[in-house]
């Protein structure tokens, strides 16, 4: 029997790339749930093949009333991903309660539930970046977004359901179909626009004695790899739990900036700018996913180096699109 899927946030970044990959596998029986609040999301949907679309609020009402046909897997990518969002009640409802309700509906019907957590749950990284269940309760996210994601991770852990569902702690994902994210776009997308507009890339200065300007580190993961990890857990229903989705390598912002210039065949011009005071105390200077658990689960595929991922992103997507910053 052909498989059926639901992808929440299916017009968004990782969600749209999941639908695209399902299409490449020959699957078009997909229900997309999202909120089409900008033209860039509508453009994402134009490239996809799916059975039906529901507005996020209508979708929530439908599964609450149990009027949606069961499917093989729900990929729950729909959430507010803004690390600067200050409305705590909105984040609690949208990122925690919505996720909990959908998870409960999936468990009731025996549906595979794969949801997006976040590396933001690791806070300042002082406890490391292990996705071990023993570490999870001790994590202290630095912002409300991270806390909202941590709330569901803890709920799932405390109720003992992580042997039946999958949570993925996505690190710094970049790649096609993130145009709608505005200020939450990856630095690759922003840097491309900066080079096109001014010929230079602006990076934040460091306010940490251990890190020189531009030497702050992130685990950058290309969206195609993030999708491959996500679909691995659909293909392996016997494997569940909370897992990191990164590369296991920390690279600097300078590495990323040089990759952008190389992909654009430009000589590097990098200017260091002041970091806004509002985020200085909540800034992550280093992230690197501990990949032990994912590799132990059987995921063996290599991850794309930023030089290769940035080149592919820019030359096959950004260079043929309007600047992402103009997509409002």
Catalytic residues: 145, 181
- At residue 204, what are phi and psi to the nearest 5 degrees? -70, 140
Structure tokens that stand for 91 in this block? 């984040």
Question: What's the first-to-final CA gap in the chain, in angstroms?
Answer: 40
What H or E segment, with its residue span, contains residue 252? strand 251-252
Q: Do residues 41 and 11 make contact, with C-beta atoms less than 8 angstroms apart?
A: yes
Residue 325 class from Cβ within 10 Å (0-12 exposed, 13-18 middle, 19+ buried)?
middle
Can you say how many angstroms the Cα of residue 216 is from the centroid of all Cα atoms in its chain?
20
Return the number of other C-beta atoms located less than 10 Å from residue 24's C-beta: 8
Helix or strand or coil: residue 169? strand
Q: Do residues 64 and 40 make contact, with C-beta atoms less than 8 angstroms apart?
A: no
Dihedral sign from CA coordinates of 64, 67, 71, 77: negative
Q: Strands 30-34 and 5-8, how do they pair?
A: parallel
Q: What value does the CA radius of gyration of the chain take, rounded to a whole number of Å?
A: 19
Could you tell me which residues come within 8 angstroms of residue 312 by beta carbon, excluding any fewer than 6 positions away?
A: 222, 304
Q: Do residues 256 and 221 make contact, with C-beta atoms less than 8 angstroms apart?
A: no
What H or E segment, with its residue span, contains residue 157? helix 144-158
């Amino acid at each position: 029997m052909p498989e059926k899927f639901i992808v929440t946030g299916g017009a968004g970044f990782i969600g749209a790339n999941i639908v695209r990959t399902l299409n490449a596998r020959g699957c078009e029986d997909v229900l997309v749930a999202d909120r089409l609040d900008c033209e860039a999301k509508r453009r994402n949907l134009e490239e996809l093949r799916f059975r039906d679309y529901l507005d996020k609020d209508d979708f929530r009402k439908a599964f609450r009333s149990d009027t949606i046909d069961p499917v093989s897997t729900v990929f729950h990518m729909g959430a507010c991903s803004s690390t600067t969002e200050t409305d705590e009640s909105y984040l609690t409802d949208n990122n925690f309660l919505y996720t909990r309700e959908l998870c409960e509906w999936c468990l009731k019907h025996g549906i595979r539930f794969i949801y997006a957590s976040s590396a933001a749950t690791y806070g300042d990284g002082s406890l490391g970046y292990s996705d071990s269940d023993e570490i999870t309760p001790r994590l202290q996210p630095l912002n409300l977004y991270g806390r909202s994601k941590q709330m569901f991770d803890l709920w799932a852990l405390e109720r003992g359901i992580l042997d039946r569902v999958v949570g993925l702690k996505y690190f710094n994902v970049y790649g096609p179909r993130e145009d709608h994210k505005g200020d939450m776009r990856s630095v690759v997308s922003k840097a491309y626009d900066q080079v096109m507009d001014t010929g230079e890339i602006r990076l934040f200065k460091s306010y940490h004695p251990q890190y020189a300007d531009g030497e702050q580190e992130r685990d950058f993961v290309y969206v195609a790899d993030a999708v491959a990890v996500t679909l691995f857990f659909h293909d392996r229903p016997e494997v569940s739990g909370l897992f990191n989705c990164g590369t296991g390598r920390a690279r600097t912002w300078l590495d990323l900036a040089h990759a952008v210039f190389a992909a654009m065949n430009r000589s590097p011009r990098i200017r260091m700018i002041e970091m806004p005071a509002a985020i200085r105390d909540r800034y992550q200077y280093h992230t690197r996913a501990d990949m032990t658990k994912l590799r132990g689960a059987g995921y063996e595929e290599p991850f794309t180096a930023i030089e290769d991922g940035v080149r592919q992103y820019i030359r096959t997507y950004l260079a043929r699109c309007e600047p992402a910053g103009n997509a409002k």
